[in-house]
Amino acid sequence: MSLLQADVASTFTADGAEAFTVDASLEVDSGETLVVLGPSGSGKTLLLETIAGFHDHEGVVTRDGDPLHDRPPEQRGFGFVFQDYALFPHMTVRENVEYGARYHEGTPDAAALLTDLGVGDLLDRYPPTLSGGERQRVALARSLAVEPDVMLLDEPLAALDVPTRQSLRDDLADILADVTALYVTHNRTTARAIADRIAVMRDGRVVQRGSPEEIFERPESPTVANFTGSNVVDLSAAPSLAALLNGDGSLDSHVAVRPEAVRLNGGSGDLEATVERVVREDATSRVTLAFDGVTVEAFADEPPDEGATVGVSFPRDRLHVC
């Protein structure tokens, strides 16, 4: 049985806004990081807050089979990390970490925790003197200090600048390796880097769940394919691509292919396409290709000229009908 099981439904109303309903079920196994990935406004925060116990809801939340849904948030055994750190400015880093565990048996080894998180030298500093990345590491240490059964994390990297986000993202996979965690984000790079499994959320519901590989390579719907960054081509509008799949262009479905799987062959590919646009991205270029009146994106280290005709091939095992 999964450690955390949630099957909850709740409708939220605010003055002047349409009601928003969250109706979702999740299971998180012991030691696993489940990422809830979805666009802004898909209900990720409301779902996390509902599981945490901040909102009335129908349905159940259980840990190890024990019902949690009748308990207040502080008795559910969760640790929280939010986007905005929420550290006490007038307490040192050590005091913040120890205060987080004030109801916990024994005093946590703040120095060891902070050292594990790469900020062992900050013990006596005050939060206002720290960088965003340092504060978020301290916030993680404070949550881990209570040895929570499950960590709930809401976009903890969102407020950080890009280099800091990348560095903490790299470390988060290690930090969360032995922890049971439910992590919400709209950032697919983060999801791919830290998730053991992903649940994709849209309009308050989970629309697909699976391993990162399944979510990114085998999306079950054009919605998930689009959101996870695949090219999505309507086969009824793209006869040459449909023919590649042994169809006749009348297939009433879509095909998803990741941009990194599309190959440019300089004239000898399976399909002929026109280069519509080339945008440099660090060491590579993102190339927009048009054929049959549809466009797809690809990456090329040596980009062709805009307006050129190129051959394009799609490895069959990377084309996914959805």
Ligand X SMILES: Nc1ncnc2c1ncn2[C@@H]1O[C@H](COP(=O)(O)OP(=O)(O)OP(=O)(O)O)[C@@H](O)[C@H]1O
Nearer to ligand X, 19 or 162 (CB): 19
Q: Which is nearer to ligand X, 36 or 168 (CB)?
A: 36
Of 26, 3, 45, 49, which is closest to residue 149 (Cα–Cα)? 3
The helix/strand/coil state of 203 is coil
Which window, 14-22, 101-109, 110-118, 258-266, contacts ligand X (CB under 6 A)? Answer: 14-22
Helix/strand/coil for 112: helix
Nearer to ligand X, 82 or 299 (CB): 82
Tokens read off for 288: 């927009």
Q: Which of 3, 7, 9, 20 binds ligand X (CB under 6 A)?
A: 20
Q: Does residue 223 touch ligand X according to CB under 6 A?
A: no
Question: What whole-number distance in Å separates Cα of residue 241 and Cα of residue 74?
Answer: 55
Could you say which residues in the range 179-198 bind ligand X, by CB under 6 A?
A: 186
Q: How far is the C-alpha of 35 from the C-alpha of 157, rounded, in Å?
A: 13
Residue 7 has which token pair? 């099957």
Minimum CB separation of residue 162 from ligand X in Å reads 18
| Binding residue count for ligand X, defined by CB under 6 A | 14
- Compute the least distance from the CB of residue 179 to ligand X, in Å: 22
Q: Which CB, 22 or 119, lies closer to ligand X?
A: 22
Binding mask 31-50 for ligand X (x = CB under 6 A): -------x-xxxxxxx----
Under 8 Å between Cβ of 22 and 12 = yes
Comparison of 13 and 211: residue with beta carbon closer to ligand X: 13
Cα–Cα dist 26/267, whole Å: 48
Q: Is residue 12 close enough to count as binding ligand X by CB under 6 A?
A: yes
Handedness of CA 126, 131, 135, 140 (dihedral sign): negative
Task: Name the residue nearer to ligand X (CB basis): 31 or 41.
Answer: 41
Question: DSSP alpha helices (H): ranges in 176-248?
Answer: 188-194, 212-217, 222-227, 239-244
Q: Does 51 bind ligand X (CB under 6 A)?
A: no
Cα atoms in the Cβ-side hemisphere of radius 13 Å centred on 244: 21
For 146-170, the three-class secondary structure string (H helix, E strand, C coil) is CCCCEEEEECCCCCCCHHHHHHHHH
Taking CB under 6 A as the rule, which mask of x and - marks residues 236-265 in contact with ligand X? ------------------------------
| Residues 121-180 contacting ligand X, CB under 6 A | none
Least distance (Å) between residue 56 CB and ligand X = 11
Neighbouring CB atoms inside 10 A of 201's CB total: 25
Least CB distance to ligand X at residue 244 (A): 37
Residue 291's nearest CA partner among 306, 265, 312 is 312
Measured from the CB of residue 160, what is the shortest distance to ligand X in angstroms?
15
Applying CB under 6 A, which residues contact ligand X?
A: 12-14, 17, 20, 38, 40-46, 186
